[in-house]
Amino acid sequence: MRHTDVIHVYDTLPQRYRELAHRTAIVTGASRGIGLGIAARLAREGMNVVLCGLEAQETTAAALAIRELGGATRSLAGDLTHETDLERVVSFAVESYGSVDLLVNNAADIQRTRLADLSAESIERQWAINVRAPLMLSQRAAAVMQQKGAGVIVNISSVGGQRAQLPGLPYGMTKGALDALTRNLAMDLGEYGVRVNAVAPGWTPMNLDPVADAEYVRETSAFLSIRRPGTPSDVAAVVAFLASDDASYITGQVIAVDGGLSAQIHPPEQPI
């Protein structure tokens, strides 16, 4: 999903959780794709949303696209591998809207390679973005949430954290660590009224051409039980639920949103 796509889906998004209105959410990696879909859905629920992204122009445009449709948004650009940029995220949300009620750790580096081609630089960068940044942002957001005795953290993981793929390094390793982080944060923060869960998307392509890539989508969808790719809105719907009061007894869970991908031993009609 790109910021121009928000216009086409925003009005069709359901508003289900009215208790989320006027609460404040931070979404990292929110200038495109799944992050933008999450930001749009939370804004549609009436939340104040801080969109964080790597590129200033793209992040600003994404926030503006939602704001022009009636959503309450602010944008913040920065590289979460840099300590100074990481430090600004939670303080910016508090300065903008007075509090933080929801943190969605979505930003990720998703490059995958074989072991023989793996570089130290790629390991360090993915660890910094995919694991360290969610941990440090959670620490800062939780400190704010604890003051009011309530809050929600949702980490965007991947089915690659639970199942191996080839090539899959170091991305799958970092997402497995993010799943473990989710469970540990849930145990650590539960007594303060803060819930922590993760959503693990499956195949969710964002940059396909509906016409030119139609055959590829049809063939690949045949490997899934539901026979279609996932969308940012599919993931966003689960994030909104986890943020809502309906999920008040759910914490420490990793929920797959993958069309049945991780449930199967082999693809449909292709037994091994």
The verdict on residue 87 lying in a domain is yes
Distance CA 266, CA 126 (A): 29
Tell me whether residue 20 is in a domain. yes
Answer whether residue 216 is part of any domain. no
Q: What's residue 210's pLDDT?
A: 73
Establish if 222 belongs to a structural domain.
Answer: no
pLDDT of residue 11: 81
| Interatomic CA distance for residues 227 and 21, integer angstroms | 34
Identify the band that residue 267 occupies on the pLDDT scale cut at 50, 70 and 90.
confident
State whether residue 1 is helix, strand or coil. Answer: coil
**Domain-embedded: residue 221:** no
Residue span of the structural domain in which 74 resides: 3-208+230-263
Name, in order, each residue with C-beta under 8 angstroms of 211's C-beta and a sequence gap of 6 or more. none
Output the pTM of the full model. Answer: 0.95
What is the average pLDDT across 137-145?
Answer: 98
- Please state, in angstroms and rounded to a whole number, the distance separating the CA atoms of residues 183 and 81: 23
Residue 4 has pLDDT above 80, yes or no: no
Residue 219 within any structural domain of the chain: no
Please count the structural domains in the chain.
1
Q: Distance between CA atoms of 262 and 175, rounded to whole angstroms?
A: 15
Q: Percent of the chain beyond pLDDT 90?
A: 86
**62: pLDDT strictly greater than 80:** yes
Does residue 84 form part of some domain? Answer: yes
pLDDT at 256 over 90: yes
Is the distance from CB of 67 to CB of 116 less than 8 angstroms?
Answer: no
Domain-located, residue 186: yes
Query: What pLDDT is recorded for position 204?
Result: 92
Interval 179-226: pLDDT, tens: 999 999 999 999 999 999 999 999 998 777 777 888 988 988 999 999
pLDDT at 144: 98
Q: Catalytic site residues?
A: 171
Q: Is the pLDDT of residue 33 over 90?
A: yes
pLDDT at 13 over 90: no
pLDDT score at 22: 97
CATH number of the domain at 67, please: 3.40.50.720
